Amino acid sequence: MVALLIGLRWRQLGHQLGKNPWLIVALVLSGMLALGMLGSLSILLLVLRTTAPEVAMVTLVLVGSAITAAWWVGSILVSADDSLATERFALLPVPARRLLPGLVVAGGTTVGGIGTALALLMMLAGWSVSPAAAVAAILLAPLALAVCVLGARVVSGALAGWLARRRTRDLVLTLGVLLIASSGVLLNLLGAAIRGLSSPWEGFAALAEALGWTPLGAAFGVPAAIAGGDWAAAVLRLAIALATVTALWFLAERLLAARLVAPVSSGGGGGRVRSGGLIDRVLPASPVGAIAARSLRYRRRDPRHLVNAMMLLVFPLIMFGALAVNTVQSEGFSFGPAVVLLPAVNALMVCTIVQMDIAYDNDAVALHIVSGVSGTADRAGRMLGIGVLAVPLTVVLSVVACLLAGAPELLPASLGASLGLSLAAAGAGSLVGAYLPGRAPAPGANPFGRGSSGGAQAMLAMLVLLPVTLAVGGPALGFAIAALWVPALGWVSLACGLLLGGAAVWAGVLLGGRVLDRRWPRVLADVSSET
């Protein structure tokens, strides 16, 4: 059974790679990034081993505990591979006690499992400060990986029924995105708090000592205790690690058995769809208006679109927060005039949203093809649907930025930079998205699952979009920067932003529409669920 499930996982991965060459590119790039991070970890541990062995021990326990916590918490945001979902085995006459070993081993042979195993091996560079600790770390590496995989299965299994409800999934997704997006500000606050301590090193050492006695870090606390010569603590921590694996295995088997008998099915919103409304009365009664209206409804109902719309507000606020934290640390709470340019960062979100908008339709793109919707109508409708939200929000953010800076005279410059770059990004995204629509999770699927970042096409698209956006929006941005010294130049920036940005939108809609008219079948194949 174990070999069968491992083979099933890898055969399906091979099938996906054979059908989708972009997935191969994304896998290679992700692997290179992961190897680079692991190499950096090894170099850091080697340096600490030779210069500060006690710091290396503390770092290893903290890193190991963080890896375990990432597995457990990540299981809430990232669903298990559909090919090995528990519900797929519900009709088979296989008991949970036979199925669980294969699922656990198969979970450890995923890309994340292999990366974790490599990280545990790389950590031997630090454990080698003590031969006995290195031997213990080698023997406990499978145990540490088992704690990660089993803990993830227990957490996801225990919350499966709760996460199956649509509103719960949307809430978890929203909180997850906010947490991930604001991680930079949170790290800055944590760094400020650490620097404010009288002895930061003692705080880290105490945290590592405490984690070494918990299920999260017991497997890493054993070699740390051995390296410190505390064999009694090592034995007790080993008992905690073994008890953790035993308890997690028991809970995972019970949860698996329950789901095999009563499979969990995802529920939808269950609400009645109302026709008409303000959106339909305001937008034109044409294909462009219909597509724009549908786009606006998706922004409210579909969590994938809801996240993108939310980030249009959250992303600039995070930048404001990060600037405020750094300003407080250096010179007291005050914003300089350059803060009026911060709303322009929304151009990054706009270009991504416009470029990938068609990918979120997934197989439903076929409706545009069979109904004869022109490419120009598609591009214009999606642009209108996004612009209704992005333009007013950008104006509000620019006003807030000028108020924070205490420089209302710089409002034209702020609007010129933010609107100019956003319009340029939207026009470029409309054209590039017709060639490289990217991939998105299927409707109803986990927004953090495969395709959540758009895949290799989205990465390639960004390499094209950023230079084009800067080239078209450069004059508006340049005059906005100059307006910090000569405020009157802000009006020149606004004029450049509206004229050049408007031209970019017009060209993107027109040229992107012509490209779509030629490439509809190829676009459908690129964004479909199965390729």
Please state, in angstroms and rounded to a whole number, the distance separating the CA atoms of residues 190 and 319.
17
What is the per-residue pLDDT for 159?
Answer: 77
| Burial of residue 342, with CB atoms counted within 10 A of its CB: 0-12 exposed, 13-18 middle, 19 or more buried | buried
Alpha helices by DSSP H, 262-345: 278-282, 287-301, 303-331
Residue with tokens 């950023």: 466
Give Cβ neighbours of residue 456 (< 8 Å, ≥ 6 apart): 22, 23, 25, 26, 29
Residue 531: the pLDDT is: 44
Closest CA to 302 of 140, 494, 174, 157: 174
442, 447, 451, 455 alpha-carbon torsion, rounded to 10°: 140
Q: What confidence score (pLDDT) does residue 373 get?
A: 86
By C-alpha distance, which of 394, 405, 378 is closest to 515? 378
Per-residue pLDDT of the chain (531 residues; tens, 9 = 90+): 667 777 777 777 777 666 666 666 666 776 777 777 777 777 777 777 777 778 888 888 888 898 898 888 877 766 544 566 676 777 777 787 888 887 888 777 777 788 888 888 888 888 888 888 888 889 988 899 999 888 888 888 777 766 666 666 666 666 666 666 666 656 665 665 555 555 556 667 888 888 889 998 889 988 888 888 888 988 999 999 999 999 999 998 888 888 777 766 655 554 444 555 667 677 777 888 888 888 888 877 777 777 777 778 777 877 777 676 665 544 444 567 888 888 888 888 888 888 888 888 888 888 888 888 888 999 999 999 898 888 999 999 999 889 888 888 989 999 999 999 999 999 999 999 888 887 776 665 555 555 555 556 777 888 888 899 999 999 999 999 999 899 899 999 999 999 999 999 999 999 999 999 898 888 888 888 654
Question: How far apart, in whole angstroms, are the C-alpha atoms of residue 475 and residue 480?
Answer: 8
User: Which residues have a Cβ under 8 Å from the Cβ of 485 and sit 6 or more positions away?
Assistant: none
Quote the CA–CA distance of 235 and 282 in Å, as a whole number: 71
Residue 333: the pLDDT is 46
**By C-alpha distance, which of 239, 67, 78 is closest to 155?**
78
Nearest to 252 by CA among 90, 70, 96: 96
Q: How large is the angle between the packed helices 166-181 and 53-77, nearest 10 degrees?
A: 150
Nearest to 219 by CA among 202, 205, 236, 206: 236
Alpha-carbon distance of 234 to 256, in angstroms, equals 33
